[in-house]
A and B are shown apart, each in its own frame.
Chain A
Amino acid sequence: MVVKRRKRTDSSDEKGNILFCGVGGQGILLASEVVGYALIQNGFDVKKSEVHGMAQRGGSVEAFLRFGKKVYSPLIEPTTVDIQVSFELLESLRYLPMLGKQSRIIVNTQKIPPLSVSTGIETYPDGIIERLKGFGLEVYPIDAFQISKEIGEVRTVNMVLVGALSNFLPVDEDAFLDVIKWRVPERFREVNLEAFKRGRGLIDNIK
C-alpha cells in the first residue's frame, strides 16, 4: 500500500470536502480509501475520517474526505461539503445541514429500506431527487446498482460511484486506475476497473 506522490507543479490552492454516505456494508470505506490515495498521488494532503463498529451493521454510515495543500481537521464543517456521494437514495437527504449552495450531489438511486420501512411502520419518502434539485443543488442521479449488475458483480457499486466522482476531482484518471489495481484483490480487479470506467463515463451524459 505504497504510492508515489507527485509534486504539485501549479501553486494552486485547490481543496475540497467530500462527504460519502450510505448504508453499512456498501463498500464506502474502500471507496474513500481509493479516492484518498488517488489524491495523494497527485500531491495533495488528505484526511479521511470514518467510524467503525456498531454503525456498520446496516446502519447509516458516513465518511469524510478532505484534501488540499495542508489539511488540519478531519471533520467537515456544516455547510462546507463540496461533493456529497450518496450510496443510497434516502441517505442523500440525511446530511442537509452539511451542505451549502456550492454542494454537488452524486446519488445512487438504489433504495435500501430501513427496517422501519421494510416492516411497514414508516414509508420510504418519494421524490427525493426532485427535493434535492428544488434546493437548487446540482444533482447527478446514477443507477449504480443496475450498472453493477450489468458488470456482473453487485459489489462494484462503490467503484461506479468513485468513477462518477472522479470527474470532479483534480486528479487524472490513471491515478485512480493505478490505485484500484493495487488496492483491490486480484480476482475483483477487472470488474472494479470496469465499474470505475462506467461510472466515469456517466457524468457527461447526465449534464
Chain B
Amino acid sequence: MKKSSKYLLLSGNEAIALGAFEASVKVASAYPGTPSTEILEALSQYEGVYTEWAPNEKVAMEVALGASFAGVRAMVSMKHVGLNVASDPLFTAAYTGVRGGLVVVTADDPEMHSSQNAQDNRNYSIASKIPMLEPSDSHEAKEFTKIAFRLSERFDTPVLLRTTTRVSHVSGIVRKGKIEESRVEPGIVKIPEKFVMLPVNARKRRVELHRRLQKLRKYAERFPENRLFWANPEIGVITSGVSYLYVREALPEVSVLKLGMVYPLPERLIKDFASKVKRLYVVEELDPFLELQIKAMGVECIGKEVIPEYGELNPELVRAAIVGKKKRRVFSSVDIPRRPPVMCPGCPHRGLFYVLSKLKVFVSGDIGCYTLAASRPLSAMDTCVCMGASVGGAHGMEKALGEDSLGKIVAVIGDSTFVHSGITGLIDIVYNKGFSTVIILDNRTTAMTGHQPNPASGITVKGEKTEEIDLEALCKAIGVKHVYTVNPHDINTTKKIIEKELKRSAPSVIITKYPCVLLPEERRKKKPIYMVISEKCKGCRICLKIGCPAIHWTAGKGKRKGKARIDAILCNGCGECELLCKFNAIVIEENGGEKKKKN
C-alpha cells in the first residue's frame, strides 16, 4: 500500500507560523530581525490572520496584548534583542494575564551570525515569571506553538516560545494538523482589577502571579513534552532545544531528560532522573540557565565546567565534553582570501559613506546593511550598539565634548531603524539644545532582514499601499529647522550639504533617499551599464575606494599599468564611479541603457 501522507519541509520559523495558524491565531505583530523574520512573513500568507509589521517590538507586544484582551489569540515575534525593547509591556503582561492566548516568540542567535550580542533570553522567563517552551526542531516548533496557546489560556498567562538560529533556520519535516479554535469569547470586556495595573490592583495580581507559578510548577511535572529517553544509566543528560539534537546525535548511548518547558522546571522529575543515573550532565548553549536552577534544587550535576558558555554547540563539542573524544581533521584549512559580506553594487549607501570617509568625521552608527560600511575600504562607521543608538550616542558625545566637537560627529541611521527608535533620540537633541547632524538613510525598505516594508515605505506586510510617513515633515514637526533630502548617488551634492550642515550649531537632518537595488521595482527598472575605457584609464585606483564589487582591478605587468574594469553583469548603473573618475574613463556602455536587468 502506498502511503500518501502530506509532508512539508519547513524551517522552524515557518513551522511556528503554521502552528499559530492551526491554533487559530487572529492577530500577529512583529518587527523584523534575524533569525525571527520569517515567522510573520510566513504567517502573512495565511487567510484569516491579521498580520502587521510594527514600528518596533514594544509596539508589536502591545498590539498582541491588546488583541488578547479583546479575547482573540495573538502572537508577537522578534529576535532576542527585540525582547529588550518589548520587555516593558512583557513584564506587566505577566501581571494582567490574558484573555485570548498570547504567545511571545523570541529567537536567539548564540553564534551572532547576524546580531550584535548573544544574550540568552531564557533569562527573561525567570525575570518576568512567564513560562517558556523551547522546541528543538520544526516539528516541535509547530506543536509547541499550539501547546503555548493552550497553556496561555489555561493558566491565564503570556507564554514565551524560545528558539535559536539552529531551530529558526533549520528545516525539517512537518505534517499539517487540525485547526483548533479558542474557547474564549471575543469582545470588549472591562475587568479593571485584571487590566488596570494601578498599585492597588497590581499588588493583588502579584499574588495571583505567584499562585499561577505554583500551579505551573506542578503542571511541569506531568507536562508531556518533558520527555525521558532511557538508555545506559551511567550517564544522564538534561538538555533542551537544539542541544537535545546534538546530544542524541553525539551520544546515542546516554539517558536523556529533554525539557520542553525550561521554566518553570519539574523539580521532582529532575531529582528522580538524577537519582537514577551515575553521572549527570546539563547540556545547554550560552548561560548555565538550567544548570543553576538544578544546582539550586540541591542536585549535583556537571555543566559549564565542560560545556562552552558562549557560541553555538554542535555534536562534536558535546561528545568531546562528555566522553572526551574529538575527531582528527583529515584536511586542515588553507589560507585563502576571506569573503565577508559587502554592500551590493549600486547600493544607495555606498556614496554616502565614501563622502563620510573623505570628511573624516566620527560616524555614530546603527543597525542595517549600512553597518557594512564599517569594513574596508570605506571604514566609515565608528559605533554600532543597538537600534537607534546612533542618534542618542552622537548627542551624548557632543554634550560631553561641547563646542569642540562641532562638525566632527555625525549620526547615521536607516529609515526603518529611525522609525523603530531614532525619533525619540532626535526629540532629545532638539529639546536639549543639541547641534547634531543626523543622516537618515532612506532606502525605502528594511533591507538587511530581507526587504520588509516599514512605515516610511508606505506598504504593508501584505504588500498593500498605506499612508507613508513623511520623514521630512516628521523631523520638522519635532522642531528640526534644517531638513534636506538628497539623492546619495549624487556624491558631490551630498558632500556639499553634509559639509554645510556639520558646521551648523543647530540640529539638522539630511535624508539620503534612494531605493535599495534589490527591491523588485528597482530590479525591473532599465539601468545604464557602465564601462571603463581602457585607453583613458590612468590606473589611479580612485574608483576602487568606494568598494563596489562590480569594479575589478587588473594589476599591471612590467611597463603596462594596472587598470580598472567593470563587470557588466554586476553593475547596477548607479553612476557613482563615473563621478569619481577624474579622467572621464568611466562611461555608460553603448546600448548600455538597453540592457534590461533580468529578474
Contact = CB atoms under 8 A, between A and B. Distances in A.
Interface of A: 1-7, 23-24, 33, 36-37, 40, 45-60, 71-75, 77-79, 90-91, 93-94, 96-97, 99-101, 113-120, 122-125, 131, 135, 153-155
Residue from A50, A77, A99 whose CB has the most chain B CB atoms within 10 Å: A77
B562 A59 contact: no
A4 B341 CA distance: 38
A66 to B, nearest CB: 10
Given A40-B7, A78-B316, A96-B331, A115 B549 contact: yes
A81 to B, nearest CB: 10
A123 B554 CA distance: 10
B496 interface: no
Contacts of A74: 137, 166, 170, 172, 242, 245
Contacts of B245: 72-74
Interface of B is mostly: loop
Contact of A57 (B246, B250, B344, B376): B344
A165 B346 CA distance: 34
A7 B330 contact: no
A72 B249 contact: yes
B5 A5 contact: yes
B331 A97 contact: yes
Contacts of B553: 118-120
B448 interface: yes
B333 A51 contact: no
Contact of B171 (A23, A48, A58, A113): A48
10 tightest A-B contacts by CB?
Answer: A53-B114, A53-B34, A59-B341, A120-B553, A73-B249, A57-B341, A74-B170, A96-B331, A72-B249, A114-B339
A111 to B, nearest CB: 11
B437 to A, nearest CB: 27
B579 interface: no
Contacts of A55: 113-114, 341
Interface in B285-342: 314-316, 327-334, 336-342
Interface in B1-52: 2-9, 34-35, 37-38
A153 B342 contact: no
Contacts of B552: 113, 118
A40 B246 CA distance: 22
Contact of A48 (B170, B544, B549): B170
Contact of A99 (B331, B448, B450): B331
B336 A90 contact: yes
Contact of A122 (B35, B337, B562): B337
5 contacts: A48-B170, A52-B37, A58-B341, A71-B172, A123-B555
B4 A54 contact: no
A36 B171 contact: yes
A173 B331 CA distance: 33
A5 B339 contact: no
B557 interface: no
B59 to A, nearest CB: 22
Contacts of A40: 7, 9, 173
B343 A100 contact: no
Residue from B34, B173, B334 whose CB has the most chain A CB atoms within 10 Å: B173
Given A54-B113, A118-B551, 5 more contacts: A5-B7, A54-B114, A58-B341, A119-B547, A131-B334
A58 B344 CA distance: 7
A94 B332 CA distance: 10
Nearest to A36: B9
A22 to B, nearest CB: 10
A1 B8 contact: yes
Interface in B487-509: none
B77 interface: no
Contact of B547 (A24, A99, A115): A115
Interface in B90-143: 113-114, 137
Nearest to A94: B336
Residue from B169, B339, B369, B552 whose CB has the most chain A CB atoms within 10 Å: B339
Contact of B315 (A77, A117, A125): A77
Contacts of B4: 4
B369 A57 contact: yes
B595 interface: no
A91 B551 CA distance: 20
A97 B449 contact: no
B334 A96 contact: yes
B569 interface: yes
A59 B169 contact: no
B462 interface: no
B248 interface: yes
Contact of A60 (B165, B314, B339, B562): B339
Contacts of B248: 72-73
B339 A47 contact: no
B128 to A, nearest CB: 27
Contacts of A120: 541, 544, 553, 555, 562
